[in-house]
């Protein structure tokens, strides 16, 4: 199924195959090279207690925006409906997810980052007593009309007129917020302080050579600060971004909701990040490069990659040449 979705993304033009087996690239609109924070909202009800840092919109107003923005938005398109689990199957906090999108690229990305769980979805839903939903459409990719909504009450995220994975693939940050909300509600309403949903890496470091000891380490840092690099420096890499904790018999268990990596390649070199570079060079390993420079040979290049600057290529802005530096960077 994953290869079918990958081919659909290539056939639709959302992705293009690269010289290395398993690698494709995708370009987002020039105006959508990051999260659209200004147009991201929590749907709130009367009496809702939102953080002072969260931007809220009343439910009636949010529904009006969603109706105006999404009515008939998928007419004539294929909708990809996928079932995933945010974490290992059988773990009580591995929340199942239904994703609906008209973007094969978004569906393909989700299949790399999360565990497909078509057969075990309902069993996992019985275990967690819930499921999350993500509804997305690229629309006409009019970034000015792009909107993102997070509904904590209905445990649903909605996005339209966007394609950048940080905006469209809300199983990641959006559903992390839903998981955080569940942990907070459990503590406040039930008085149970046995769960945490955190933005952390997970890695294991072996003890002295004459022991079998493994020390598990979790750590938090803002986006772009090197969590992936730090996590992969350990002896047993578990995850680079999200961590779901559960206290079981006075022991703290932690899992990675994801099974793939969504990382920033800017400033990444073979010297600073040898593990990641070696992984990307491994034949057959699946990877999607977004908004970087693609050379005529079909190779991905990016800003400060530690290699001689290429003469030309294409990036999210179109055709690029070395003469356009420094006003127009590689990526």
What is the distance of C-alpha 33 from the center of its chain? 14
Residues 22, 107: Cα–Cα separation, whole Å: 16
Which one is catalytic: 225, 247, 248, 270? 225
| Known active-site residue 259 | no
- Which active-site residues does the annotation give? 225
């Amino acid at each position: 199924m994953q290869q079918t979705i990958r081919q659909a993304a290539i056939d639709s033009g959302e992705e293009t195959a690269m010289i290395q087996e398993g690698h494709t690239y995708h370009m987002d609109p020039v105006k959508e090279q990051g999260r659209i924070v200004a147009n991201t909202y929590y749907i709130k009800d009367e009496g809702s207690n939102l953080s002072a840092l969260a931007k809220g919109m009343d439910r009636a107003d949010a529904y009006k925006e969603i109706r105006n923005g999404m009515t008939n938005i998928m007419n004539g398109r294929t909708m990809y409906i996928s079932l995933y689990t945010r974490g290992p199957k059988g773990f009580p906090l591995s929340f199942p997810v239904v994703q609906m999108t008209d973007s094969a690229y978004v569906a393909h990305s989700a299949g790399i980052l999360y565990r497909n769980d078509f057969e075990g979805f309902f069993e996992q839903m019985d275990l967690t007593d819930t499921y999350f939903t993500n509804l997305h459409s690229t629309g006409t990719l009019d970034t000015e009309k792009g909107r993102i909504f997070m509904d904590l009450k209905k445990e649903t995220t909605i996005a339209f007129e966007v394609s950048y994975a940080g905006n469209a693939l809300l199983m990641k940050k959006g559903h992390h917020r839903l998981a955080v909300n569940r942990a907070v509600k459990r503590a406040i309403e039930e008085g149970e302080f046995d769960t945490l949903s955190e933005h952390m890496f997970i890695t294991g470091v072996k003890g002295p050579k004459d022991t079998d000891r493994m020390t598990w380490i979790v750590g938090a840092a803002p986006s772009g600060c090197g969590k992936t690099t730090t996590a992969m420096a350990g002896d047993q890499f578990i995850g680079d971004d999200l961590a779901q904790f559960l206290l079981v018999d006075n022991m703290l268990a932690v899992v990675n909701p994801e099974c793939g990596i969504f990382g920033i390649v800017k400033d990444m070199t073979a010297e600073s990040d040898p593990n990641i570079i070696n992984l990307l060079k491994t034949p057959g390993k699946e990877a999607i490069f977004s908004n970087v420079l693609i050379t005529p040979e079909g190779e991905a290049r990016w800003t400060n990659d530690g290699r001689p600057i290429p003469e030309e290529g294409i990036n999210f802005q179109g055709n690029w040449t070395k003469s356009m530096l420094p006003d127009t960077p590689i990526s």
